[in-house]
Structure 1
Amino acid sequence: GYAFSIWGLLYAGLLAYAVRQALPQTGESTLINALGWPSFVTLIGIGLWIITAALDMKSASVIVIFASLLAILLPMLMLGRTIRTTSLLDRDRMLVIWPLAALAGWLTVAAPLNLITVLTAYDALPAMLSPTVWAIVFVAITTLVAIAVSWVLRTLAYPIPIAWGFVGAFVAHQDNNPVLSFAALGAAFVVIVFGSIFTFGLRRTK
């Protein structure tokens, strides 16, 4: 419940993003034109994920959530320079970049979590490592991806949901798996620190 409560903020941001495009005086911009269809695909994917999860279609849910992540994240990476140099008070930063970066951040942490959950359910994790170690490997990979993407986008809207998800894992596993729990907490700290450095120290750098 704690971890998924972030969807309230994500939905609010996406509603603002939708209203931004619906207003007659919105006009066109590079970011709106370039991210319109990718965001549409991602939102359709999120809806499909809810259906596949409800129907317990485990493999399909993994495909859908990774496709949703890539549909929005790859275009944002290609627009990295435009995103970095958009001013803090620009409407595109507040009503396009922040909502979509936050959504991409949540999907960045949710997609590998979905994958390892499905692999565990199918008992498909290689026996060379324990499930806890595999989970920590996934946390480490997600952290590296988060750092790399944060360096390109340089907006805190992206790493905050990732750190939120890691803290959720810390809370959920504090009693039954303290090793994984504190690994997730450490990852949350690292993601926020690097995200803050990139955002406030390097954001204006082209």
Structure 2
Amino acid sequence: MSQDRIRQLVVTVSGVVCVFGTLLGTGVIGTRVAESSGGTLAADATLIAPASTAFSIWSVIYLGLLAYVIWQWLPAHRRDDRLRATGYLGAASMVLNAAWLMVTQVGWLWVSVAVMIALLVTLGRLVDHLARRPATSTVERVAVDGTFGLYLGWVCVATCANIAATLVASGCPPPVGRPRGRRWS
């Protein structure tokens, strides 16, 4: 089996793992993220937690990840150097995404921070690789660069929110003020 075929299979299996994690995190087979970990990651848990509506961006990211998996299998891209440089990073990002959703299910907040930071570093490296090898088509710019750029942007915000929520849940007092409708304990 060729190295390209192995990469394609790894990316595809990672996409399936990501779907499983998503089913957990959306409450289809697990607990919704906002309700897991004792509500620590809910939209009103800290001053910098993203609003509930912000999470709709995941629909776009997940569609983009699906497009990325399909893009890898297209005959014209099977031996693409750009995909060779990013395939395993893309796969790792999908597995880390699922891992984050899984650890929040069991309330391991500090582990969720470590997983989120690993995801942030992985996506940063992936986007750096993409920037060094410009896309050759508009479809590729949208399906690959757009997906991972958006994904990285969201993970930057989510990392800050995850750390803040974990600190508050660990007993660190919030800086100043408090969100409307919620009292800090």
- 1:111 is aligned to 159
Deviation at 1:176, TM superposition (A): 5.2
The yes-or-no answer on 1:22 pairing with 2:70 is no
1:37-186 correspondence runs (5 A): 37-83=88-134, 86=135, 89-124=137-172, 131-132=175-176, 173=179, 175=180
Instruction: Return the letter of the residue paired with 2:140.
Output: D
Report what 1:7 is aligned to: 58
| Matched length | 131
What CA distance in whole angstroms lies between the structure 1 residues aligned with 2:56 and 2:104? Answer: 18
Preserved contact between residue 31 and residue 96 of structure 1 (Cα < 8 Å): no
- Structure with more helix by fraction: 1
The AA in structure 1 aligned to 2:160 is P
Instruction: Give the direction of change, closer, same or farther, for the CA distance of 1:61–1:70 in structure 2 (3 Å limit).
Output: same
Q: Percent identity?
A: 26
Match of 1:111, as an amino acid? T
Query: Secondary structure at the residue paired with 2:127?
Result: helix
> Secondary structure at the residue paired with 2:76?
coil
If the length of structure 1 is used for normalisation, what is the TM-score? Answer: 0.57
Superposed CA offset, 1:121-168 (max 9, x none) = 11236xxxx5238x9xxxxxxxxxxxxxxxxxxxxxxxxxxxxxxxxx
Cα distance in 1, alignment partners of residues 115 and 181 from structure 2 = 30
If the length of structure 2 is used for normalisation, what is the TM-score?
Answer: 0.62
Q: CA deviation at 1:10?
A: 0.8
- Is structure 2 residue 86 aligned with structure 1 residue 35? yes
The change in CA–CA distance for 1:78 and 1:35 in structure 2 (over 3 A counts) is closer
Give the conservation status (yes or no) of the 8 Å contact 1:13–1:95: yes
What are the ranges of 5 or more consecutive residues in structure 2 without an aligned counterpart? 1-51
RMSD: 2.4
- For residue 98 of structure 2, what is the amino acid of its counterpart? G
User: In 2, Cα distance between the equivalents of 1:109 and 1:176?
Assistant: 23
Work out the CA distance in 1 between the residues paired with 2:120 and 2:129. Answer: 14
Residue pair 1:17, 1:96 contacting (<8 A) in 2 also: yes
- In the alignment, what sits opposite 1:181? none
Q: CA deviation at 1:66?
A: 0.8
Displacement of 1:31: 2.2
Higher normalized contact order (CA 8 Å, seq sep 6+, divided by chain length): 2
State whether residues 86 and 129 of structure 2, in contact with CA within 8 Å, keep that contact through their aligned partners in structure 1. Answer: no
1:24 is displaced (CA, Å) by 2.8
Contact 2:116-2:155 within 8 A present in 1 as well:
yes
* Alpha-carbon distance, 1:69 to partner: 1.2
